[in-house]
Structure 1
Amino acid sequence: MTTKCFAARLLGTTSLVVLSAVATIASQTPAAAQSTISTGLYGGGSMLPSLALRQLFDCYAGTTVANDGHSFSPSFTTAAPSPNLLPTSCTLVSTAVEGLFAAVGSGNGQRAFIANDPHQLFRGNPKSAPTVVKRPSINPPFVDTANSNFATYPYPRLDFVTSDAPLASPVSSLTTISFGGFTPSTNWQSVFAILARTSTAATYDPTTVGAPIQVPALEVPVAIAVNTSNPVNGVTWTIQSALSPNTQAGGAIQLSTAQLCAIFSATVTDWADSATLIPYLDKTGTQQLQHFYDDNTDGTVTATAYASGRLPIKVVFRSDESGTTFILTNYLATNCPLLDPTGTYQYKRIFTGVGVTKGTTVTTTANLPSADFSNLIENIRAVKGDTDHDHRDSLAVEDDSDRPDPHWISAEGSNHEALKVGTEAFRAGHIGYLSADFTQPYATTVSEEILGQTYAAPAPLSASIQNLNQRITGVYHPGQVAGGHAQNFIPPTPAGAENAFRSLNFPRPPATYDAWNVYAQVFGPNAILGGVHYDGLSILATAQRAGAYPITGASFLNVYSCYADASGTRVPALKNWLAWLYGGSQTNLPAYNPATSSAASPGYDPDVAAIIRNNGLHELDPTWAQAIQSQYLQPGNSGGSATAIAASSASGSQVDGCQGVTGGAN
């Protein structure tokens, strides 16, 4: 994709306001020579969008932060992803705002948001104190050591968080455990572990921070990462469904819905399996059986076992509460029980938890989808027993040996999971789930801090996945012919995520925060697709359109409707950056101009979408983006919009989202 230079974007508009600003912009200081930035935006949470957010912040400011590994280059392109490169057009002007993001996982992001406390932005999954937690992931950097204004951690405040799992609803259910009594109390950037001595229950308080705002920011495909290297024991792979090159998105292997359900239920635990029959649905909705290896074909060759000898399938899962886990389990909970209508494989119990016996009680409430992968493993244990399924580990999760059992391997965060899936021979057969930007070709390497040491390795490869549209048209295995041509399964790409999103219904404003929960959009009564009833099931997890990637979700931005802002710079900086982000979806807007564009008058910058797609993700649908800008970013008439983000007034009446609020978010 060719990105126009900033001047060309300005000259391409008929807006007199924009044209008149050219002289002003030309006189601005180039990014490379700008004075030290002092205004900041502070966020944290989900690791899924963290790499893209770091690059977006770099582009917005026209400069990179120390050690983020990015550079502005004319070689930037989205035609073939160009990892770690940014458009040179980002540097033509600069916005004196530096954004920082702490990648700690969706669960910890929500913890910080509910408690309105940046000290909750740590890695780990603690339940009570005392406990040891860890500083954020090292990739992307969470501080800027080249700028003393942003060189220390924890952050002085919390402006936003991201999560790929939805907030609980209603507001009264927004509760968490907040930790305190930290040692050390400051300068966490200098240590890899922090002791939390106290914990207490915390509840979201709309009287002090305003209404919670949850809006989708990105459309995100979750890739199935697979290590297809030949192991060191002499066993060899025969992967006949791989694409060439296998480093392209979805190129490592092609997997069907039937195979994913078999793998994540521990029905099949070895890549060499040539005996196990697993269920799938044909285009009429009738259950059929196939061998696990029947999908190991490109349509021109006879299917064969994937491995020449024993090669255990080792599932790498997130031990922390993860939005990526939520997206995966939303897909599994929606699709897998349908393959097993008679309960022979016990998929309903495994993938929803309904019918599982706990003690003497049979569970009637679903525990999946969930941000906690342990729910799935506990369901499997309840159905199949502890053998090979007890994931409880007395050792530190960061001990990189493959314990505690041969099938499940825990990892803390996306970078850690990517390392444990790996590409090395000694990790052959590992499979996991990661946002596309942690896999090739969108990333070349992944890195993480483990027990105080930094480890880096090549990014893992990803699989193409069968979608519902293919099942309905009779494409059960890779290479089968439908519509007059052979079809491969669907790769995890920006286009695949966008095609999945197109099946959703747009929530009409004014919308409450839970109305933007894309996972809660379900099929109505008597919804039949390919002979199967989908009543009450997730629309997003079904991928019914051609080309739709089936394991797709959203990265949400969580912000408050009311902020404390004594300096008068915090709220404008936040709202203007959000307007730039969402404006990047709307090609009908005038060209973005930092001299005149704002939350009240947004502009379109093509670099936004280019950077997002270069990370394997997709910008938000323009209709959704415009509605979010209108409802939350643009001030109400006479300050009367209860949903618009506002700054708390120290004296006088409150306006917009600060009405009825005392103080605002810290």
Structure 2
Amino acid sequence: MVFYRDRLSNLTSSISVLAITIGLLAAQSATQKSLAQTSTTPPPAGVTSINGLGASTVNTLFVGTGETNPCPFGSKGSWFNVFGVGNPPSLNADLAAITNSCPVGTYGPVVNNDTFRYASVGSGAGIAAFFNQTVPLASPGPTILAPVSFAATDDPLAGTQIEQTVTIGTGKPNSGKAIQVPVVGVGITLSYNRTGLSIPAAGLKLSRNTYCGILKGTITNWNDSRIRTDNGGAVIAVNLPIKVVRRSDNSGSTFVLSTHLNTVCKTAATSTIQAANIWDKGVGSISTSGTVPPTPPANTVVWPTTFLSASGGGGVATAISANNGAIGYVDSATRLARSLPAALLQNKANVYVGPTTAGIQGALSVGTIVKYGTAPSNRLIRIDNLADPNAATAYPISAATYALFYDVYQNSTTGNLIATHIRTFINWALANSTQPVPPATNSSNPTPDQIAINRGYAPLPNTIKTVARTVVNTCVNTTTGASPCTP
């Protein structure tokens, strides 16, 4: 079984990226930083803190965007602030509905004895921190309390990471091999700054050949004839240079996008692809720029030097908004939170589809579950067949974000609580639509799927949710040497 590629040689560089990313995160939004930085506040008495970090794609889903409105689409509308005690607790204290748009009732967490914390540092830095059980420095980037309890990544574990064993040490209470499950679907959008552009009423359409050319750097102006052809002859701009914005940090979004481009921007997949637009920039989560060497570096994309760069999805969104003619890749949740327009992309069925919940679900519907580990439990789950989904309704650049847990949490009262709360959380967050959600303090609390949809994500199909719950319920524990999941 091949798990994409062996990235052991990049683990050391990923550890370095953990420190580098902290400095780069200054470009992220103040809202994201303020939410993450308050994660160092000690939890209230009797409340267990479960601390995680990683992909920026799920920051909005996990902790929200900082709105003060307690309605489901406000700060209450995030998984962690609905499930557990808010951070700060006032985020989801019992509050009466204050506007006509809020449901009748009061608000309170599903459980009142845990609080999930999350720092958005990027997939690569999150994976490195997970295996090293080391939290980022407190300044200038976001951080969390120690110890690390989980991570999130858009770039599933591969190669020797699959068998890597975490060991107990000073301040490092967890051990065993990684447990990996998908938690939500997300789209990687091509969002743009519409200033100076004349966009048709149906939206901006980009064919596979066109967006391959834009992202390779061979299509450089919005007046390009190929863009006009994609949009029924409409002149999108008379003369406006295209400014592509890419990620500068170690990012799962870069991995998802480059995997897609490496699949689609080839004559075997797209017969109309022009030779100049064939993808040869590499595949991976690490971004750099310059001339592509004869053998591209592992796990790395070598972007054109003319491209702009920014750290984190929030940083890319900010750069897009600040530059006329800009287009860049950001996840569907960040696009929605920043009110950025996004292109409709031509999929494998030659249908132009936008990064909506329905479009992402269309892609997930044809995904296949790949398992690794000892049957029937299997401790690592990955969704394959998403690089170029063939459903007519599929948004073509769709992916799943994965949560990483430890096989063994410290065998103590705290460890037992963390393992128990993780299992309870996953059973709530990944409940099937036909399965009752664990009771909240009242009926006003939104469901996990509603939160995901409101925030620009796509709930996983029930078949995948069921597998993920089984893995977590079986594998996440406090027993050393007797796990059914890590022989």
TM range (shorter): 0.7 to 0.9
Q: Which has the larger radius of gyration?
A: 1
Does the 8 Å CA contact 1:86/1:611 hold for their aligned counterparts?
A: no
Q: Please state if 1:335 is matched with 2:264.
A: yes
Q: In structure 1, how many angstroms separate the alpha carbons of the residues matched to 2:243 and 2:264?
A: 22
Over 3 Å counting, the alpha-carbon distance change for 1:577 and 1:168 in structure 2 is same
Over 3 Å counting, the alpha-carbon distance change for 1:380 and 1:432 in structure 2 is farther
Match of 1:269 among 212, 220, 228: 220
Aligned position for 2:353: 490
Aligned position for 2:156: 166
The equivalences for 1:91-490 within 5 A come to: 91=108, 94-119=111-136, 134-136=140-142, 154-171=144-161, 204-205=166-167, 209-230=175-196, 237-240=197-200, 242-243=201-202, 251=203, 253-274=204-225, 291-297=226-232, 303-309=233-239, 311-338=240-267, 345-348=275-278, 351-352=279-280, 367-368=282-283, 370-374=284-288, 378-379=291-292, 391=305, 407-422=306-321, 424=322, 427-439=323-335, 442-443=336-337, 445=338, 459-469=339-349, 471=350, 489-490=352-353
Match of 1:43 among 48, 52, 60: 52
Over 3 Å counting, the alpha-carbon distance change for 1:305 and 1:328 in structure 2 is same
Does the 8 Å CA contact 2:55/2:152 hold for their aligned counterparts?
A: yes
Q: In structure 2, how many angstroms separate the alpha carbons of the residues matched to 1:609 and 1:549?
A: 19
Aligned position for 2:386: 540
Map Cα deviations across residues 201-247 of structure 1 (whole Å, 9 max, x no partner).
Answer: xx7559971121111111111111110112xxxxxx3323x43xxxx
Over 3 Å counting, the alpha-carbon distance change for 1:264 and 1:575 in structure 2 is same
What is the CA-CA distance between 1:90 and the residue it aligns to? 5.2
Q: In structure 2, how many angstroms separate the alpha carbons of the residues matched to 1:57 and 1:308?
A: 47
Over 3 Å counting, the alpha-carbon distance change for 1:87 and 1:587 in structure 2 is farther
Aligned position for 1:581: 429
Does the 8 Å CA contact 1:76/1:87 hold for their aligned counterparts?
A: no
| TM-score where L is the length of structure 1 | 0.56
Aligned position for 2:80: 57
Q: In structure 2, how many angstroms separate the alpha carbons of the residues matched to 1:73 and 1:269?
A: 53
Amino acid at match of 1:239: I
Does the 8 Å CA contact 1:436/1:617 hold for their aligned counterparts?
A: yes
Q: In structure 2, how many angstroms separate the alpha carbons of the residues matched to 1:37 and 1:266?
A: 55
Amino acid at match of 2:353: I
Does the 8 Å CA contact 2:92/2:108 hold for their aligned counterparts?
A: no
Higher helix share: 2
Map Cα deviations across residues 573-596 of structure 1 (whole Å, 9 max, x no partner).
Answer: 22211221122xx1332442369x
Select the structure with the greater relative contact order (CA < 8 A; seq sep ≥ 6): 2
Q: In structure 1, how many angstroms separate the alpha carbons of the residues matched to 2:273 and 2:208?
A: 17
Map Cα deviations across residues 441-476 of structure 1 (whole Å, 9 max, x no partner).
Answer: x31x4xxxxxxxxxxxxx42212111111x2xxx6x
Match of 2:449 among 609, 620, 630: 609
What is the CA-CA distance between 1:626 and the residue it aligns to? 1.4
Amino acid at match of 2:483: D
Q: In structure 2, how many angstroms separate the alpha carbons of the residues matched to 1:513 and 1:588?
A: 25
The equivalences for 1:600-639 within 5 A come to: 607-634=447-474
Aligned position for 1:502: 365
Aligned position for 2:12: none
Q: In structure 2, how many angstroms separate the alpha carbons of the residues matched to 1:258 and 1:167?
A: 30
Amino acid at match of 2:159: S
Q: Which runs of 5+ in 1 are unaligned?
A: 1-33, 123-132, 137-152, 175-202, 231-236, 244-250, 275-290, 298-302, 354-366, 392-406, 446-458, 476-488, 522-538, 596-604, 635-643, 661-666
Coordinate RMSD, CA, aligned: 3.7
Aligned position for 1:397: none
The equivalences for 1:583-598 within 5 A come to: 583=431, 586-593=432-439
Over 3 Å counting, the alpha-carbon distance change for 1:324 and 1:172 in structure 2 is closer
* SS of corresponding position for 2:88: coil
Q: In structure 2, how many angstroms separate the alpha carbons of the residues matched to 1:547 and 1:268?
A: 27
Does the 8 Å CA contact 1:172/1:204 hold for their aligned counterparts?
A: no
Q: Please state if 1:656 is matched with 2:487.
A: no
What is the CA-CA distance between 1:105 and the residue it aligns to? 0.2
Q: In structure 1, how many angstroms separate the alpha carbons of the residues matched to 2:217 and 2:366?
A: 31
* SS of corresponding position for 1:211: strand
Aligned position for 2:400: 554
Map Cα deviations across residues 276-318 of structure 1 (whole Å, 9 max, x no partner).
Answer: xxxxxxxxxxxxxxx3421123xxxxx0432122x11111110
Does the 8 Å CA contact 2:82/2:110 hold for their aligned counterparts?
A: no
Does the 8 Å CA contact 2:86/2:92 hold for their aligned counterparts?
A: no
What is the CA-CA distance between 1:347 and the residue it aligns to? 4.5
Q: Which runs of 5+ in 2 are unaligned?
A: 1-42, 64-77, 297-301
Q: In structure 1, how many angstroms separate the alpha carbons of the residues matched to 2:292 and 2:411?
A: 47
What is the CA-CA distance between 1:257 and the residue it aligns to? 1.1
Over 3 Å counting, the alpha-carbon distance change for 1:390 and 1:256 in structure 2 is closer
Aligned position for 2:75: none
Q: In structure 1, how many angstroms separate the alpha carbons of the residues matched to 2:191 and 2:427?
A: 34
Does the 8 Å CA contact 2:94/2:106 hold for their aligned counterparts?
A: no
| TM-score where L is the length of structure 2 | 0.75
Q: In structure 2, how many angstroms separate the alpha carbons of the residues matched to 1:565 and 1:462?
A: 48
Q: In structure 2, how many angstroms separate the alpha carbons of the residues matched to 1:76 and 1:263?
A: 45
Over 3 Å counting, the alpha-carbon distance change for 1:57 and 1:344 in structure 2 is closer
Identical positions, percent: 24
Does the 8 Å CA contact 2:52/2:148 hold for their aligned counterparts?
A: yes
* SS of corresponding position for 1:49: helix
Q: In structure 1, how many angstroms separate the alpha carbons of the residues matched to 2:293 and 2:92?
A: 41
* SS of corresponding position for 2:190: strand
